[in-house]
Amino acid sequence: MFKVPPVTEQRLQQLLRAMPKAELHIHIEGSLEPELIFALAQRNGVPLPYASVEDLRQAYAFTNLQSFLDIYYAGASVLLHEQDFYDMARAYLARAAIDNVAHAEIFFDPQTHTARGVAMETVINGLHRACADARSELGISATLILCFLRHLSEASAFETLEQAQPLLDKIVGVGLDSSELGHPPEKFARVFARCRELGLHRVAHAGEEGPPAYIWSALDALKVERIDHGVQAMHDAALMQRLAQDRIPLTVCPLSNQKLCVFPDLKNHNLRQLLDAGLCATVNSDDPAYFGGYINENFTQVFAATAMTARHAYQLAFNSFEASFASNADKRVWEHRLKETFERFVEHD
Ligand code: HPA
Ligand SMILES: [Zn+2]
């Protein structure tokens, strides 16, 4: 590992913004800004229960995961046509490029759309075209992860997989999201086993609000390669050891955890403890349009609140590439760029 010397606080904030990074936990429907929700509602003639952009933004006061999900699914109801999915993903990727995201693995929730009569291919083709254009026009690499909604049934997840089958070359993996409590990972063991046979990568939200037991079962029953959130692992020493030993990445989302009251404030966030315990933690935005910031805002705010150092910054960016499903050749290129960025900043300090 590159030896990172200490830098001033101001320099560290610049470094956090400038360093290349991968974003591995971003729900594309959670990148829909209120302005775009209103524009799409108008374009598609979808009525909204909010009078204005400001009125909608005012509703973004959450007390837990469910209070957020209710508004998040309502916002997604304006998405009908392939171009809508394209515009949403394109807007996110343009924003991510500004934050020096070199690679994004983007979650999408097809059941939210197919339940409203939108075809699976409309969703996937729109998102995939945006990823392809972003690569050629913005120089950012992006892939797609299909998430099953855990509050729905196993049968619905199997049906969703069936609908996606002809389009599997356009996704890299599957995930599990939505209401965690009361919906343990093992409910989807057979679906994930099938996805594994199909050669898909596997991730799952676990230990956001749910107990460490859900992280154990995501690992052992679903055989996931990464845990999304996972911050509740802190309460189980044996689990912490397993995550460190097997280098199972955690895709941590500080502003999300703050906004959904998983931690009382960022000062009490455990990212630094997870890193210092040797876990492969990463920083991500989750649902940036709803939680008050894109990936760089997550980095700068959690660093300011928890007094982490340039060494932590380097480790987090390095982890994000290591934890990604990109090729080893791509990872080496990004790691090299990361090292160069640090050398440049340190030299001029
Ligand atoms: O943070 C989250 N948790 C679970 N489901 C979600 N869907 C969007 N964001 C989230
Ligand atoms: Zn999430």
CA torsion through residues 334, 340, 346, 349, sign: negative
pLDDT < 50: residue spans in the chain = none
Q: Which ligand is nearest to the CA of 262?
A: 1
| pLDDT of the residue at 3 | 82
What is the CATH superfamily name and number for domain 9-347? Metal-dependent hydrolases (3.20.20.140)
Cα 140 to ligand 2 centroid, rounded to whole Å: 21
Query: How far, CA to CA in Å, does 51 sit from each of 48, 57, 79?
Result: 8, 11, 19
Domain ranges of the chain: 9-347
| pLDDT, tens digit (0-9, with 9 covering 90-100), for 106-160 | 999 999 999 999 999 999 999 999 999 999 999 999 999 999 999 999 999 999 9
Taking CA atoms only, the protein residue closest to ligand 1 atom 1 is: 286
Q: What is the side-by-side strand order in the sheet with 281-283?
A: 21-27, 101-108, 141-149, 173-177, 201-206, 226-229, 250-252, 281-283
Give, using CA atoms, the residue closest to atom 4 of ligand 1.
Answer: 178
| pTM reported for the whole predicted model | 0.98
Distance CA 146, CA 165 (A): 11
Query: Which protein residues touch ligand 1 with a CB less than 6 Å away?
Result: 27, 30, 65, 72, 177-178, 205, 208, 256, 286-287
Annotated binding-site residue? 286: yes
- Of 28, 62, 64, 178, the one to substitute when testing ligand 1's pocket (max ligand atoms within 8 A of C-beta) is 178
Rounded alpha-carbon distances, angstroms, from residue 317 to 36, 44, 71, 334: 30, 39, 31, 10
For residue 259, which ligand has an atom nearest its CA?
A: 1
Can you tell me the ipTM of this complex? 0.96
215, HSE (Cβ side, Cα atoms, 13 Å):
28
Q: What is the largest CA-CA distance in the chain?
A: 58
Say what the pLDDT of residue 349 is: 57
Residue 27 annotated as binding site = yes
User: What 3-state class would DSSP assign to 205?
Assistant: strand
Cα 205 to Cα 208: distance, rounded to the nearest angstrom: 7
- Distance between Cα 280 and ligand 2 center (Å): 17
Tell me, what's the pLDDT at 31? 98
Query: Quick one: pLDDT at residue 5?
Result: 83
| Entry field: residues in the chain | 349
pLDDT digits (tens, 9 = 90+) for 266-292: 999 999 999 999 999 999 999 999 999
Q: Cα(27) to centroid of ligand 2, in Å?
A: 6
Measured in angstroms, how far is the CA atom of residue 347 from the centroid of ligand 2? Answer: 37
